[in-house]
Copies of this chain bind each other. A is one copy, B any other.
Amino acid sequence: MRPSGRAPDEMRAISFETGFTKHAEGSCLISCGDTRVLCTASVEERIPPWLRGKGEGWVTGEYSMLPRATHTRGGREAAKGKQSGRTQEIQRLIGRSLRAVVDMKKLGERQITLDCDVLQADGGTRTASISGAWVALRLAINSLMEAGAIKDDPITAQVAAISCGIYNGTPVLDLDYAEDSNADADANFVLIEGGQIAEVQATAEGATYDEEGLLRLLRLANIGCDGIFAAQRAATK
């Protein structure tokens, strides 16, 4: 029995509030249950030094939690003077995941930064960030294409992410905080429409799992991401 009463393969309600902020070229507030992340896509006509002169663009991600996004207040990373290992790990994942679906030649010599700021956390903030970042990116690319700055769509596919885990011995989809903090195993899947895997990060905590367990989690993730893909399409139509 899950704390939320959800079925093992039941995802939380997901929604995208697009245009949440007015300055960014693309933005949305993604809600996955009580987890809420503000995702913005910022287009800059400059690229990192090591890419200059190659006719290619770049996509990168940044991630942060507001100090009181969580049950108890966490220290502000800007005040501590450095980003935690967890933050860096997550923002590297966001960047890699979105780059997996962008054709850098078609993007041209510009950089898009995907800022994912968690306003409220209830489990699954990194996966919500990826799913929301795709929407922000889609909207930013749309506006670049409408303005004639880009001709061919550089986005090759949708990308979405979801967590799965083994809770009380049962594989379940889309862990919330109550499950996440007690799960035996926790896996984040970044999937691409059409059944391709962009990234798997599966960690045993407490108990370990075997090939069979990994496959069952992957299949749950496919179910979840199909739902997110549909919601992304609805939000960006």
With both chains docked as a complex, state the minimum distance between the C-beta of A186 and any C-beta of chain B, in angstroms: 10
Contact B208 A218, beta carbon cutoff 8 Å: no
Chain B hits for A211, CB < 8 A: 195, 197, 215, 218
Of B66, B196, B199, which is within 8 A of A203 by CB? Answer: B199
Chain B hits for A100, CB < 8 A: 204, 208
Contact B89 A42, beta carbon cutoff 8 Å: no
Chain B hits for A84, CB < 8 A: 88
Residue A148, interface by CB 8 Å: no
Contact B67 A78, beta carbon cutoff 8 Å: no
Contact B200 A120, beta carbon cutoff 8 Å: no
Cα A73 to Cα B111 with chains together (Å)? 12
Residue A181, interface by CB 8 Å: no
**A: which residues have CB within 8 A of B?**
20-24, 27, 34, 38, 40, 42, 44, 62, 64, 66-71, 73, 76-89, 91-92, 96, 100, 113, 115, 117, 119-121, 187, 192, 195-204, 208-211, 213-215, 218
